Structure 1
Amino acid sequence: MTKQPAASRRHLLGAAAGGLAAAAVWPASRALAQASDGVVRIGVLDDMSGTFADQQGMGDVVSARMAIEDFGGKVLGTPVELVFGDLQNRPDIGTQIARRWYDQERVDAIFGLGNSAVALAVQQMTREKGRLNVTVAAGTTDLTGKACSPLGVAWTYDNYALARATVNAMMGENRRRWFFITSDYAFGHSLEQNATDILRKLGGEVTGTVRAPLGETDYSSYILRAAQSGAQVVGLAVAGNDLINVVKQMGEFGLMKRGIQPAAMLCLLTNVKAIGLQTAQGLIFTEAYYWDQTDPTRAFAQRFQRLHGRPPTMFQASMWGAVTHYLKAVQAAGTDAAEPVRAKMAEMPINDFMTRDGRIREDGRVIRDMYLMRAKRPEDSRGEWDLLEVVQTIPGEQAYRPLAEGECALVRKG
């Protein structure tokens, strides 16, 4: 990543049970400050060092910084600061960092929150403290369901949208019997539950399920149980390095050669690269973005790659849109106060290189198109990152859980 000149940035260093934080300021002058404390301060709180670091991590920070710089470094005549922290996939660490940011460092909005358990905890804290949170990378549908917040936004995707398209695709191939390997925390549970509900509505069958701890490295016993269950599909409600490990090990056990199809509930570009097309080819999953879709997606990916060394994942790409939309809302509201900014975010359509006519629904869910993806065969790949093909576009109004089914208290009845 290109290092910024020392004169153009300031570091805020602090530890919260091992959490990392740093900040940059664009630019230094506050003479025209109109925000509440003379600065608009944004926090990116993600997995910077663990199983999800490649798909979130410093790539999210790079994208947020790009958005701030593209906006001109100021909003309402005041500088925009960026701080970032490592949640370490632990709710206690994530909430400690968030609390310090809100109480001591006066962060106005937290973005990222790439772990469902952390995202739920921080969203509740955000609501209590009257600040904003924009969840870019966590997928639990509780964020817009029973735990919804008037100050929370679920930006990129959710587990219902991921499960729906993938399950429908497999059912369309008459693969009706599923076995689930699930990460044993809020994200994995939500993925499995959403996929199971959709599967059963379509007449499918769950032959079994196993729960694996986050960070598991040996999936052999889980894979053997799946192979012996009579399943046609192994639903992988895991992510990051866990997904990489289980798909590689399924290949070693020869499940695909025996006609047992892996279906990833959440897979990203970097995961497919790490698995390799020889093993990943044919893997089906759902995403909100792929770098090689259109001229605008390619243009952003090229800019991002010059800074980060590779194209962005859907989280890293959508971080740019989330931060940009927030800054536009601050400008339109004439303040950085949470409630009017959140109201403006909901009023304004979302249009950027990866989202066309998106909107924030009453429950905080961003409605955007989703894409059913397939990993390419090695012989069809034209380059190092030419790994995926778009199989189907799922319109946003069809992709997400119906509003009435979410149990969000903010949703008007009738």
Structure 2
Amino acid sequence: MQKLIAAVAAGLALAATSGAAQAQISDNVVKLGVLTDMSSLYADATGKGSLAAVEMAVADYGGKVAGVPIQVVSADHQNKPDVGVNIARNWYDNEKVDAVLDVPTSSVALPVSALTREKNKININSGGGSSDITGTACSPNTVHWTYDTYALSNVAGKAMVKRGEDTWFFVTADYAFGMALERDAANVVKESGGKVLGDVRHPLNSSDFSSFLLQAQASKAKVVALANAGGDTTNALKQAAEFGLTQGGQKMIALLMEITDVHSLGIKATQGLIITDAFYWDSNDETRAFSKRFNEKVGHMPTMIQAGLYSATMHYLKAIEAIKTDEAPKVMEQMRKTPVNDFFAKNGKIRIDGRMVHDMHLFEVKKPEESKGEWDLYKLIATVPGDEAFRPLDKGGCPLVK
């Protein structure tokens, strides 16, 4: 009888221990929400491709983490802050989402990051660009994975001023991302010895850039810098060609342009364009292997945002596996102390302000005669180490930095 009682007690203790361990994963599922632009000007750079990248990572991980299933949900925030915040709030409060990923459009990304902190969940941003996400608006619950306005401006601005292209005029999207991009780029130009001759701001998702481009042309600036993205960038470049800006000797630079934009416009229209990017599909065997699989699934090569999401999802799942909990502060701590080494980044690191620091690259779009295939679009000009590309930790105004 004593042996029987001891055996039962041991069994109950084991069951209690197992139950306690299992309870570390909330609701017995790890649920990821991909909040993105499915229908507007950033849909090619993010959208369905962002969702596909996260789904690929989950499938490659095996569909389970720490013994529980992984679920993925998605929604279109329509580039509207109120819509994005309401979706995220419902996910956190009612659908038990553990982490929200992607969130392009900085005017949506910033309030979603704030909400994530309030709810003590995790936000991994790949699509939003404002450097304020890890600056004055930094959060212990948000990781900014792929790029930001500081890195885009820093890499391209220094290189171009050094080449003698030292007078700039900005055509800027009139919302948080565009203004942060112009601010960061203008600072780099001035610090490098150049001058900003003027700027003009346009509404998000514009179709007519004629008046803005005429002002840029009249400025006689050597560089006309587009501080916008997606469909705004492609529309501005098309119309700049019609107005003859480059034929008149001005250099066009797209401070944020994805490979899908270049492909859409065509290599003939974009040849010579200078682009800063975190990822290029044809860099090495690892990037080519991932990109081939992605292309087969989605129908185009991955943008840096989409490649970054696969990398970020894997890093998040590995952190949960390592510590057997999805409790946000503990997962964030594990993510920060674990280097990022995959096809996207080598020796990447997540700082206390949430910035994932990794190498950035400066590319030039090839001439038609240099291209050997449909997606053979870029030639590498320079690779800038992460610590040089991204803003120094003590310069962003993040309250978490001591």
TM range (shorter): over 0.9
Aligned residue number for residue 197 of structure 2: 207
Q: In structure 2, what is the Cα distance between the partners aligned to 1:239 and 1:93?
A: 21
**Alignment-derived partner of residue 115 in structure 2:** 125
Matched, 1:379 2:369: yes
- Contact 1:33/1:76, CA 8 A, preserved across alignment: no
Write the distance in 1 (CA, Å) between the matches of 2:241 and 2:386.
33
* 1:61 equivalent in structure 2: 51
Task: Give the TM-score normalised by the residue count of structure 1.
Answer: 0.91
Cα displacement (A) at 1:33: 7.5
* Deviations 1:233-270, CA, capped at 9 Å, x for gaps: 00100100000000111111111111100111101100
Native 8 Å contact 2:24 2:327 kept in 1: no
- Partner residue of 2:176 out of 159, 164, 186: 186
Residue in 1 that maps onto 2:142: 152
**Which string of whole-angstrom CA distances, capped at 9 and with x for unpartnered residues, describes residues 284-339 of structure 1?**
01000000000000000001011111110111111100000000011112101101
Output aligned runs, 1:154-303, within 5 Å.
154-303=144-293
Structure 1 residue 276: Cα displacement: 1.3
- From 10, 15, 26, give the equivalent of 1:36: 26
If you compute each CA radius of gyration, which structure gives the higher value, 1 or 2?
Answer: 2
Aligned to 2:12: none
Q: Measure, in 1, the Cα distance between the counterparts of 2:230 and 2:159.
A: 22
**2:101 pairs with 1:101:** no
One-letter amino acid of the counterpart of residue 188, structure 1: G
Is the 1:182–1:211 contact (alpha carbons within 8 Å) kept by the matching residues of 2? yes
Distance across 2 between alignment mates of 1:149 and 1:291: 31
Deviation per CA, 1:342-388: give whole Å up to 9, x if none.
00000100011121010001211000000001111111111111111
Conserved? CA contact 2:26–2:326, under 8 Å: yes
Cα contact 1:284–1:372 (8 A) shared by 2: yes
Map of 1:112 onto structure 2: 102
Q: Which amino acid aligns with 1:279?
A: A
Counterpart in the other structure of 2:6: none
Deviations 1:73-100 (A, max 9, x none): 0011000000011011000000010000
Specify the alignment match of 1:46 in structure 2: 36
Instruction: Provide Cα deviations, 1:169-214, integer angstroms capped at 9, x if missing partner.
Output: 2112211110000000000000000001111111111111000000
Pair 1:365-2:344 in alignment? no
C-alpha contact 1:71 1:324 (8 A) present in aligned 2: yes
Would the aligned equivalents of 1:34 and 1:77 in 2 still touch at CA under 8 Å?
Answer: no
Cα deviation, residue 278, structure 1: 1.3
Q: Which residue identity is paired with 1:191?
A: L
Count of matched residue pairs: 381
Letter in 1 for 2:272: G
Residues 34 and 76, structure 1, Cα contact 8 Å, conserved in 2: no
Matched residue, 1:140: 130
User: Percent of aligned positions with the same letter in both sequences?
Assistant: 48
Query: Which one of 65, 80, 83 corresponds to residue 75 of structure 1?
Result: 65
Separation of aligned partners in 1, 2:135 and 2:305: 21
Letter in 2 for 1:198: V
* Distance in structure 2 (CA, Å) of the matches to 1:63 and 1:152: 19
SS in structure 2 opposite 1:257? Answer: coil
CA distance, structure 1, for counterparts of residue 380 and residue 65 of structure 2: 37
Check whether the contact 1:286–1:371 (CA below 8 A) recurs between aligned residues: yes
Cross-structure match for 2:388:
398
Is contact 1:134-1:153 (8 Å) kept? Answer: yes
Which amino acid in 1 is paired with 2:228? V
Q: Distance in 1 between matches of 2:151 and 2:380?
A: 16
Tell me the TM-score normalised to structure 2 length: 0.94
User: Which letter maps to 1:340?
Assistant: K
CA contact (8 A) 2:220 2:250 kept: no
One-letter amino acid of the counterpart of residue 139, structure 1: G
How far residue 34 of structure 1 moved from its aligned partner, in angstroms, is: 5.5
Q: Does 1:310 pair with 2:285?
A: no
Q: Structure 2: how far apart are the matches of 1:207 and 1:274?
A: 31
Structure 1 spans left out of the alignment, 5+ residues = 1-31
1:101 and 1:107 in contact (8 A); partners too: yes
Q: Could you say which structure has the higher helix fraction? A: 2
- SS of corresponding position for 2:70: strand
Aligned residue identity for 2:161: M
Is the deviation greater in 270-279 or in 66-75? 270-279
Distance in 1 separating the partners of 2:236 and 2:26: 48
